[in-house]
Amino acid sequence: MQRGASPFNIVSVAFGLAFLYLPITILVIYSFNASRLVTVWGGWSLAWYRELLNDAALLQSAWISLRVGVLSATAATILGTLAAVALVRLGRFRGRLLFSGMVYAPLVMPEVITGLSLLLLFVALNVDRGFWTITIAHTTLTMCFVTVIVQSRLIGFDRSLEEAAMDLGCPPLKTFLTITLPLIAPAIAAGWMLAFTLSLDDLVIASFTTGPGATTLPIRIYSEVRLGVKPEINAVCTIMIAVVAAGTIVASLITKGSAARRERAALGAQV
């Protein structure tokens, strides 16, 4: 790509970033507003955050969402990584077309369809709906995102290290665990993060597959938001934004650090 940005380029990037960040910034600022009214600025205050700590129902929902997120992201990372390895390394196998179709479809499938179909499955199997059904649903949704991330890492990957290990008599499983896995670890970590945030974020699929006693944070927020803007909700949202922003920055530092280490190692090998 040709370097050198024209004034038009600069303006369009600035406009795009402002469009993306202005609404979120406003939301964060108003979570610290002492006044209950959105348009009236009553000075800085942490009142709404204190109120959150007393809201037992909300805290319980947050706890449920957190557990669903960790469990489903972990399961999705294992399944998604296996699927990525299968798609990149196995070449042709029986049923590959169906497999890759099932892997890519959930990426764009409207959530109402995925949610409805999973619910009908759980009803047909006569399973009690609640915590576990949401976890299974989120695993199914998010494993495909993990697959895509790990797959792109596996494709741009030097196989000579694996081949060297195998030539020296290392069994395939051990080669995978000691050579391949550490090399694709950053992609796996990024996949887990994405799966976790997608699970934390999901309203539609969770609403279909939930049952009594399993109200996740988005379901709780949604039912409050339908009644209008509340400063407490601004505060919850700000906390979630802060958690996600911190997580993303840490994740990118990890991947960057490992990329830098790889580069240094490669340089060292050349010298």
Partner 1 sequence: MHGGMQKRNWSGRAIVLLPYLWLVVFFLTPFVIVLKISLSQTAMAQPPYTPVFDLSAGLAGLREFVGELSFDSFQLLFTDLIYLLSYLKSLQVAAISTLVLLLIGYPFAYGIARAPRGWQPLLVMAVVLPFWTSFLIRVYAWINILQRDGLLNDVLMKLHIVDAPVSWLSSDTAIYIGMVYSYLPFMVLPLYAVLEKMDETLLEAAADLGCPRWKTFWLVVVPLSLPGAAAGALLCFIPIVGEFVIPDLLGGSETLLIGQTLWSEFFSNRDWPVASAIAVTLLVLLLVPMLFYERLQKRSLEGGR
Contacts of partner 1 in 173-232 (CB under 8 A): 173, 194, 197, 200-201, 203-204, 208, 218, 221-222, 225-226, 228-229
Sites for partner 1 among residues 135-174 (CB under 8 A): 136-137, 139-140, 143, 147-148, 151-152, 155, 166, 172-173
CB atoms closer than 10 angstroms to residue 122: 19
Residue 115 · residue 205 · CB < 8 Å: yes
Give the integer Cα–Cα distance in Å for 34 and 30: 9
Q: How many residues bind partner 1 (CB under 8 A)?
A: 97
The closest of 224, 143, 227, 124 to 188, measured between CA atoms, is 143
Contact 75, 137 (CB under 8 A): no
Q: Which residue has the tokens 């999705």?
A: 76
Q: Which of 47, 86, 183, 185 binds partner 1 (CB under 8 A)?
A: 86
Least separation in angstroms between CB 268 and partner 1: 24
Q: At 69, is the secondary structure helix, strand, or coil?
A: helix
User: Which lies closer to partner 1 via its Cβ, residue 59 or residue 113?
Assistant: 113
Paired tokens of 229? 């803007």
Q: Which two tokens stand for residue 230?
A: 């509340």
Task: Say if CB 188 and CB 162 are below 8 A apart.
Answer: no
| Nearest approach, Cβ of residue 84 and partner 1 (Å) | 9
x/- track of binding to partner 1 for residues 227-266 (CB under 8 A): -xx---xx--x--xx--xx-xx---x--------------
Scan residues 105-124 and list those touching partner 1 (CB under 8 A).
Answer: 105-113, 116-118, 120-121, 123-124
The 16-35 site mask, x for binding partner 1 (CB under 8 A), equals xx-xxx-xx-xx--x-----
What's the closest the beta carbon of residue 55 comes to partner 1, in angstroms? Answer: 17
Q: Which residues from 46-75 bind partner 1, rule CB under 8 A?
A: none
The reply on whether position 1 binds partner 1 by CB under 8 A is yes
Q: Name the 3-class secondary structure at 228.
A: coil
With CB under 8 A as the contact rule, the residue among 101, 182, 213, 257 that binds partner 1 is 101
- Residues constituting the chain: 271
Contact 205, 187 (CB under 8 A): no
